[in-house]
A and B are shown apart, each in its own frame.
Chain A
Amino acid sequence: MTESQKRNPSEPEEETHKPPDDLSTRVIPGLAARVGSRVLAEPAVPAPAAAPPTRPIGPVSPSPKRTEGWLPEGTVLQNRYRILGVLGAGGMSVVYKAQDLRFPKVTRLCAIKEMLNTTTDPRLRALMVQNFEREASILATLSHPAIPQVYDYFTEGDRAYLVTEFISGKDLEALLNETEGFFSEAQVVQWAIQICDVLTYLHTRQPQPVVFRDMKPSNIMLDDQGRIHLVDFGIAKVFQSGEKGTMIGTEGYSPPEQYRGIAEPRGDIYALGATLHHLLTKQDPRLEPPFSFQKRPIHQYNPAVSAELQEIIYRALEYDVQKRFGSAEEMKRALLSLKSARGLAATAYISAPETVRPDALKVIWQFACEDEVRSSPCIHEGILYIGAYDNNLYALDAETGKFLWKYAAEGGIASSPVVAEGRVFFGSIDHSLYAVNAETGRLLWTCPTKGRIFASPRVQFGHVFIGSDDHRFYAVNVANGRVAWSVETEGAIRSTPAIGPDAIYFGDEAGILNAVGVNGRLLWRFRARRALTSSPAIAHDLLYVGSQDWFVYALDLRAGWVVWRYRTDGPVVSSPTVVGNTLYIGSADGHVYALDATNGYLVWRYRTGGQVTSSPTVHQGAVYVGSVDGCLYSLDAQTGQLRWRFQTGGPVVSSPRAVNDIVYFGSLDHNVYALPI
Chain B
Amino acid sequence: MEVGWATDVGRQRSLNEDAVLVMEAWQEGHYAMPPVGLFLLADGMGGHRAGEVASALAVRTAARHILQNLWAALSDQHHSADEPSLQEVLTDAFRRAHEAVTGRVPGGGTTLLCALLLGDRAYIANVGDSRAYLVSPQGCRQITRDHSVVDMMVELGQMTAEEAARHPQRNVLYRAVGQRGTLEVDTFICTLSPGEVLLLCSDGLWETVGGAEIVRVVTASASLQEACDTLVEKANQAGGRDNISVILAAPGCEGSVASGV
* Chains A and B belong together in one complex: yes
Contact between chains at B45 and A36 (CB < 8 Å): yes
B64 to chain A, nearest CB (A): 20
Interface band, chain B: 35 or more
Contact between chains at A563 and B45 (CB < 8 Å): no
Contact between chains at A35 and B50 (CB < 8 Å): yes
Contact between chains at B85 and A260 (CB < 8 Å): no
Work out how many contacts link A and B, with CB atoms closer than 8 A. 187
Q: Given the known A-B contacts A529-B81, A564-B85, A600-B87, are A522 and B260 also in contact in the complex, defined by CB atoms under 8 Å?
A: yes
Q: Given the known A-B contacts A35-B46, A41-B172, A319-B158, are A562 and B188 also in contact in the complex, defined by CB atoms under 8 Å?
A: no
Contact of A563 among B17, B123, B159, B171 (CB under 8 A): B123
Contact between chains at A562 and B84 (CB < 8 Å): yes
* A563 to B79 alpha-carbon distance, docked (Å): 11
A542 within 8 A of B: yes
Contact between chains at A523 and B189 (CB < 8 Å): no
List residues of chain A with CB within 8 A of the CB of B215.
Answer: none
B 77-94 contacts with A by CB, 8 A: 77-88
B22 within 8 A of A: no
Among the interface residues A17, A542, A561, A565, which one has the most CB atoms of the partner chain B within 10 A? A561
Contact between chains at A528 and B153 (CB < 8 Å): no
Kindly report which residue of chain B lies nearest to residue A503, judged by CB atoms: B258
A95 within 8 A of B: no
B217 within 8 A of A: no
A80 within 8 A of B: no
List residues of chain B with CB within 8 A of the CB of A528.
Answer: 80-81
B149 within 8 A of A: yes
A 165-209 contacts with B by CB, 8 A: none
A489 to chain B, nearest CB (A): 14
Contact between chains at B81 and A551 (CB < 8 Å): yes
B143 to chain A, nearest CB (A): 11
Contact between chains at A40 and B45 (CB < 8 Å): yes
Contact of A35 among B47, B158, B260 (CB under 8 A): B47
Contact between chains at B179 and A560 (CB < 8 Å): no
A483 within 8 A of B: no
B73 within 8 A of A: yes
Kindly report which residue of chain B lies nearest to residue A19, judged by CB atoms: B47
Contact between chains at A38 and B81 (CB < 8 Å): no
Kindly report which residue of chain A lies nearest to residue B86, judged by CB atoms: A563
Contact between chains at B191 and A541 (CB < 8 Å): yes
Contact between chains at B156 and A502 (CB < 8 Å): no
Among the interface residues B79, B191, B258, which one has the most CB atoms of the partner chain A within 10 A? B79
List residues of chain B with CB within 8 A of the CB of A290.
Answer: 149, 152-153, 174
A422 within 8 A of B: no
B 221-237 contacts with A by CB, 8 A: none
Contact between chains at B258 and A526 (CB < 8 Å): no
A525 within 8 A of B: yes
B219 within 8 A of A: no
Kindly report which residue of chain A lies nearest to residue B179, judged by CB atoms: A40
* A13 to B166 alpha-carbon distance, docked (Å): 12
Contact between chains at A35 and B107 (CB < 8 Å): yes
What 9 pairs across the A-B complex have the smallest Cβ distances? A562-B85, A256-B158, A564-B87, A561-B73, A527-B80, A524-B77, A558-B257, A38-B171, A39-B172
Q: Which residues of B contact A (CB under 8 A)?
A: 17, 34, 43-48, 50-51, 72-73, 77-88, 107-109, 118-119, 121, 123, 147, 149-150, 152-153, 156-159, 163, 167-169, 171-176, 179-181, 186-189, 191, 242, 256-258, 260-261
Q: Which residues of A contact B (CB under 8 A)?
A: 1, 13-14, 16-17, 23-24, 26, 32, 35-43, 246-247, 251, 256-257, 259-260, 287, 289-292, 319, 502-503, 511, 517, 521-529, 540-542, 547, 549, 551, 553-556, 558-565, 598-600
Between-chain CB contacts (< 8 Å), 9 pairs: A26-B107, A36-B17, A38-B172, A41-B172, A247-B169, A521-B260, A525-B77, A558-B258, A561-B73
